[in-house]
Amino acid sequence: MTAATTSKKLDWRASRHARHVVSQVFVYALLLAGSFVFITPLIWMFSTSLRPEWEVYTYPPKLFPNYWFWENYPEGWSSLIPFSTFLKNTLTITLFNVTGNLISCSLSAFGFARLHSRYRNVLFMLLLSTMMLPYEVTMIPQYVVFAKYLKWGNDFKPLILPAWFGWPFGIFLLRQFFMTIPFELDDAARIDGASTFRIFTQIMLPLVKPAMATVAIFAFVGNWNNFMAPLIYLNSMSKFTMALGLRLFQGQHATHNQHLLMAVSMVNITPILLLFFFAQKTFIRGVALTGIKG
């Protein structure tokens, strides 16, 4: 080996290293700038939640209030509207629905992704097509069925029951993930005499764990923030959800009490925020795309 080739190799390594440093700097600059853009509105939301009412409209706007008005939180939470009740209701509905969605969606998605049927494509298109009609025109007929014929007005049942019978978004998402799993795995299991249901529970489900977690998060957020259906179905305040409660701050002529609205909004997103922050490690591990092992 000659000296020339060695130095050339070193050069190549050095340049690769330099390129790596540059790319890392670029990545962090991008992340910092991006997260700043994404988080600024929330910082404003937070700062508004700490303002006294007469400082909400200060002009020019200041990012931070003169005095931190933590009283807004207890006041917004309980003085006008019983938010503790709303939180309990929202949690009840959300937890039931996430469970129901995960079970029903994974079963249906497995069927659509990995089992043969002449009707598979047609039925799948039918499933997707249920998402293509705006809810605004189906909600009243649906309400008539539930409230008039089943007498389920002012009841959680119409908000919970459908979740146990499939959710097109979740089914489609899980189908996409089931379809990326090679068939060799099923075949090997079938040789060992495993039934389809065992293949589903013991081989497939563990492999789509990240997707299941994603469906769980989307179901959680979707139900937590769901507004239109609870609006139509729930009458008495004792049954209201958080989303309906937040809406109560909006008056006929203006949005009053913006500081309280923001305080309660902050509280409203906190459970999801914490859930996401801590749960992500369990289902999203990192890969070293740029070749450095972390």
Structure tokens at 117: 């049927």
- According to the binding rule CB under 8 A, does residue 84 interact with another protein? no
For the chain, the C-alpha Rg in angstroms (whole number) is 26
Nearest distance, CB of residue 69 and another protein, angstroms: 8
Nearest distance, CB of residue 8 and another protein, angstroms: 16
Q: Is the separation of the CB atoms in 76 and 264 below 8 Å? A: yes
Q: Binding residue for another protein (CB under 8 A) from 65, 169, 203, 267?
A: 169
Q: Binding residue for another protein (CB under 8 A) from 28, 64, 68, 70?
A: 28
Q: Binding residue for another protein (CB under 8 A) from 33, 80, 122, 155?
A: 80
- According to the binding rule CB under 8 A, does residue 87 interact with another protein? no
Count of residues that interact with another protein, criterion CB under 8 A? 141
Largest CA distance in the chain: 90
Phi, psi of 225 (to 5 degrees): -95, 0
- Measured CA to CA, the distance from residue 176 to residue 92 in angstroms comes to 30
Q: Which is nearer to another protein, 92 or 164 (CB)?
A: 164
- Measured CA to CA, the distance from residue 245 to residue 81 in angstroms comes to 7
Nearest distance, CB of residue 234 and another protein, angstroms: 9
* Ranges within 106-165 binding another protein (CB under 8 A): 107-108, 110-120, 123, 125-134, 136-148, 153, 161-162, 164-165
- According to the binding rule CB under 8 A, does residue 65 interact with another protein? no
Q: Binding residue for another protein (CB under 8 A) from 89, 177, 219, 223?
A: 177
Kindly write down the DSSP assignment for every residue of 254-289, as one continuous string: SB--HHHHHHHHHHHHHHHHHHHHHHHHHH-----T
A 10 A CB-CB count for 245 gives: 22
Stretch 4-23: interaction string toward another protein, x if CB under 8 A: --------------------
- According to the binding rule CB under 8 A, does residue 282 interact with another protein? no
Residue 269, class by beta-carbon neighbours within 10 Å (0-12 exposed, 13-18 middle, 19+ buried)? middle
- According to the binding rule CB under 8 A, does residue 97 interact with another protein? no
Which positions ≥6 away from 232 have C-beta within 8 Å?
139, 140, 143
* Ranges within 184-213 binding another protein (CB under 8 A): 187, 190-191, 196, 200, 207-208, 210-211, 213
Q: Which is nearer to another protein, 3 or 200 (CB)?
A: 200
Q: Which residue has the tokens 């006008």?
A: 80
To 10 degrees, the CA torsion angle through 272, 277, 279, 281?
160
Q: Binding residue for another protein (CB under 8 A) from 50, 56, 93, 102?
A: 56
Q: Which is nearer to another protein, 4 or 293 (CB)?
A: 293
- Measured CA to CA, the distance from residue 69 to residue 232 in angstroms comes to 35
| Stretch near another protein under the rule CB under 8 A, chosen from 5-13, 87-95, 182-190 | 182-190
